[in-house]
Amino acid sequence: MTNTLTVTSADQTMAIGEKLAPLLAPRDLILLDGDLGAGKTTFTKGLGKGLGIKRPIKSPTFTIIREYQSGRIPLYHMDVYRLEQGGGDDLGLDEYFNGDGVNVVEWSKFVADQIPANYLRIIFRRDDSKGDNVRTISFDPRGDRFESLTNQLLGELNG
């Protein structure tokens, strides 16, 4: 089974996040990496919807971390792009990663030294040569739980 999907709309990207949400548990870590404007926050909107969060999911670019408590389990959405020059040590990421919610980290390379061994990395790539909204979404699971979770998700999506 291939670990890469192609989508042609923001709605399809959101739907993948929404399908992943029921499979997630507290302390799960989802890393979202890839091209700027390729769908990382759009994916997180779908994830939030799938978790039952009613509040609009917004990019935490300027706040770095947004907390959403109203769903099945809390969602901690982090955009660490602004930490390119450092400063991630002060965020208390360990407390989030070992807490009661699902953690989504955009631009994880800027806090790579704080990432636990087990996670699901999802890589978003724009493919503008095929159309304005064409994206490839690749799944790179680390650890048995995330291998199993990825297989289940892709099985449902490729159904």
Strand partners, 105: 31, 78
CATH superfamily of 4-151: P-loop containing nucleotide triphosphate hydrolases (3.40.50.300)
| pLDDT band at 35; cut points 50, 70, 90 | confident
| Res. 95: pLDDT tops 90 | no
- DSSP states of 72-122: SS-EEEEE-GGGTTS-GGGG-HHHHHTSSSEEEEESGGGGGGG--S-EEEE
Cα Rg, the chain, nearest whole Å: 15
Q: How far apart are CA 144 and CA 57, in angstroms?
A: 29
Section 140-158 average pLDDT: 94
**Which segment of 24-28, 34-38, 103-107, 135-139 scores lowest on mean pLDDT?**
34-38
Q: Where are the domains of the chain?
A: 4-151
